[in-house]
Amino acid sequence: MTSTFILASLIEPSVGLIFWTTITFVLLLILLGKFAWKPILSAIKTREKGIEDALASAESALKDMRELKSNNEKILAEARNERDALLKEARDTKEAIIAEAKAKSQSEADRILASAREQIINEKNAAVAELKNQVASLSIEIAEKILRSELSSDEKQKALVNNLMKDVNLN
């Protein structure tokens, strides 16, 4: 077998093989196309579509959940705000009540104090007046008693006159 002959048979396509390859290939193409590629490709496509759908629905579920969560947070925040407002109001009311009570009690106390002071003054005045009267009557009594004792005898009358006379300067 010489190399030129080999090379010739290597690059010379044989009619028989061309014939059988054509038939086999066409049959293979038709049969595989109908019984293999069509169902396989459609199955893969269906699966991919399924996966895509699942992913999309998961995505939308996630979105819904996120929305729900944000809604919840909003509601929570609102509730918190409301609670704060309520608390604040309560505190304000409490303070107002306390302030009012304080003011009321203060004024009552002031009033009581004032009336007490007035009463005290009145009592004091009355007492002072009474005391004055008593002192006056006492003084008169004393004075009477003193006069009585001073003027009980002649010597005493004379001594008094003398005494008085001593004080009088004889100028």
Partner 1 sequence: MTNKINIFRKFSGVYLAVFALFFMVSTSLSASEPQEDGVIAQEGNGAHVVDPHAKGGKEKVNISEVAFEHILDSHSWHLWGEHEHAVSIPLPVILKTNNGIVFFMSSEFHHDVHGKVVVERNGERFVNFEEKIYYASADTNEHGQYLQTSTGAKGEIEVSNAAVLDFSITKNVTQMLFSAILLLLIFTSIAKAYKKHGVTSAPKGKQSFFEPLIVFVRDDIAKGNIGAGSDKYVPYLLTVFFLILINNVFGLIPIGANLTGNIAFTLVLATFTLIIVNINGNKNYWSHIFLPHAPKAIWPILIPIEIVGILTKPFALMIRLFANIAAGHIIVISLIGLIFIFESYAISPVSVAFALFIDVLECLVAFLQAYIFTMLTALFIGSAVADHNEDGMHTTDDDHLVEAKH
Binding site for partner 1 (CB under 8 A): 1-6, 8-22, 24-25, 27-29, 31-33, 35-41, 43-44, 46-47, 50
C-beta of 82: minimal distance to partner 1 in Å?
Answer: 49
* Residue whose CB is less far from partner 1, 20 or 111: 20
Residues 88 and 82: their CA atoms lie apart, in Å, by: 10
* Residue whose CB is less far from partner 1, 21 or 71: 21
C-beta separation of 151 from 161 below 8 A: no
Whose structure tokens read 């509601």? 75
Q: How far is CA 134 from CA 36, 46, 70, 74, 145, in A?
A: 142, 127, 93, 87, 16
* Residue whose CB is less far from partner 1, 4 or 169: 4
* Residue whose CB is less far from partner 1, 24 or 106: 24
Residues 99 and 93: their CA atoms lie apart, in Å, by: 10
C-beta separation of 154 from 148 below 8 A: no
C-beta of 56: minimal distance to partner 1 in Å?
Answer: 16
C-beta of 53: minimal distance to partner 1 in Å?
Answer: 11
